[in-house]
C-alpha cells in the first residue's frame, strides 16, 4: 500500500490549490429551533400590527348598553373603519370620553347624531333635526334619564347615548364626543358563546 498523500487537482494556471472546503451543516434540531423562533417573532409582530391598526378586543363593563350588550361581553372593535368613512347614526363605538366625564376609561355607546345635526332629548325621547327618532333596538322600558336641550353637533364631533338611557353616563352629561377620540366601531361579540354574533 502506498504511503503517498492523495493527489489534489491543481489549477491550470499553476496557482496554489485552495484547501478543500467543508461547509457546516445545520442539524435538524437546530433548524427546527430557528424556524420556531422566527415563527413566534413573525406571529407576535403581526399580532401587534393587527391590534394597533386593524381590530382589538374590548370588554363591556357596566350595564349602560343593556339590553343589547351585557356586562362582561367581549367585543371585536374595527379600528380602521373611520379612516374609510365618518361615524354614522346607529353605530356602536368605543371611545375615550371628553374631559367632562372625569375618567380615562374607554366608554361604549351608540352614535345618535353626527356633525351638523340638531339633537334634543325630551321626556326620554330623542329628536334629531326636529324628528322623533325610532328605537327598534330598544324596548321602551329602557328609555328615560335626563333631558338634553336642543343643540347642533359641531364639526368633528358626535352625540352618543347608552341604550340603557335611565342609567347611562353619556353626551347628556359630558357633551359631544370628538371623533378623534373614537377607538373604533364595535362589530362582533365573541364571548360568552351565547352572545356570539354581529352587533347592530
**153 in any annotated domain:** yes
Say how far apart CA 190 and CA 57 lie, in whole Å: 9
Residue 49 reports pLDDT greater than 60: no
Residue 10 reports pLDDT greater than 80: no
Across 141-169, average pLDDT:
96
**3 in any annotated domain:** no
Instruction: Report the pLDDT value the prediction gives residue 50, as an integer from 0 to 100.
Output: 45
**125 in any annotated domain:** yes
Q: How many domains does the chain divide into?
A: 1
**87 in any annotated domain:** yes
Catalytic residue among 32, 57, 109, 166: 109
- Is residue 109 flagged as an active site residue? yes
Say how far apart CA 164 and CA 65 lie, in whole Å: 5
In sequence order, what are the residues at sequence separation of 6 or more whose Cβ sits closer than 8 angstroms to the Cβ of residue 81?
Answer: 184, 185
β-bridge mates for residue 189, sequence order? 75, 197
**126 in any annotated domain:** yes
Instruction: Report the pLDDT value the prediction gives residue 137, as an integer from 0 to 100.
Output: 86
Residue 12 reports pLDDT greater than 60: no
Residue 149 reports pLDDT greater than 50: yes
pLDDT, averaged across the chain: 84
Of the candidates 113, 107, 93, the residue with the CA atom closest to the CA atom of residue 187: 93
**43 in any annotated domain:** no
Which residue matches cell numbers 484547501? 19
Residue 2 reports pLDDT greater than 60: no
- Is residue 79 flagged as an active site residue? no
User: What range does the domain containing 157 cover?
Assistant: 55-198
Instruction: Report the pLDDT value the prediction gives residue 136, as an integer from 0 to 100.
Output: 87
Q: What's the longest Cα–Cα distance across the chain?
A: 113
Instruction: Report the pLDDT value the prediction gives residue 91, as an integer from 0 to 100.
Output: 97
**44 in any annotated domain:** no
**193 in any annotated domain:** yes
CATH number at residue 189: 2.10.109.10
Instruction: Report the pLDDT value the prediction gives residue 55, as an integer from 0 to 100.
Output: 84
Catalytic residue among 64, 79, 168, 171: 64
The helix (run of H) or strand (run of E) holding residue 190 is strand 182-191
**Angle (nearest 5°) at CA 27 between 26 and 30:** 85
Instruction: Report the pLDDT value the prediction gives residue 52, as an integer from 0 to 100.
Output: 47
pTM for the model: 0.75
Amino acid at each position: 500500500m502506498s504511503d503517498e498523500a492523495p493527489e489534489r487537482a491543481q489549477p491550470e494556471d499553476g496557482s496554489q490549490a485552495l484547501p478543500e472546503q467543508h461547509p457546516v451543516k445545520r442539524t435538524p434540531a437546530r433548524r427546527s429551533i430557528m424556524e420556531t423562533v422566527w415563527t413566534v417573532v413573525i406571529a407576535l409582530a403581526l399580532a401587534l400590527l393587527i391590534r394597533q391598526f386593524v381590530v382589538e378586543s374590548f370588554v363591556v363593563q357596566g350595564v349602560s348598553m343593556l339590553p343589547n350588550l351585557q356586562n362582561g361581553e367581549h367585543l371585536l372593535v374595527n379600528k380602521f373603519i373611520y379612516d374609510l368613512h365618518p361615524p354614522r347614526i346607529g353605530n356602536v363605538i368605543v371611545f375615550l370620553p371628553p374631559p367632562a366625564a372625569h375618567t380615562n376609561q374607554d366608554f361604549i355607546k351608540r352614535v345618535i347624531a353626527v356633525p351638523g345635526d340638531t339633537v334634543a332629548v325630551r321626556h326620554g325621547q330623542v329628536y334629531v333635526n326636529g324628528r322623533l327618532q325610532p328605537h327598534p333596538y330598544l324596548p321602551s322600558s329602557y328609555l328615560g334619564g335626563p333631558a338634553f336641550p336642543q343643540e347642533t353637533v359641531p364639526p368633528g364631533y358626535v352625540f352618543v347615548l347608552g341604550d340603557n338611557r335611565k342609567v347611562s353616563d353619556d353626551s347628556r352629561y359630558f357633551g359631544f364626543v370628538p371623533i378623534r377620540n373614537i377607538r373604533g366601531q364595535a362589530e362582533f361579540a365573541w364571548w360568552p358563546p351565547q352572545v356570539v354574533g354581529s352587533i347592530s
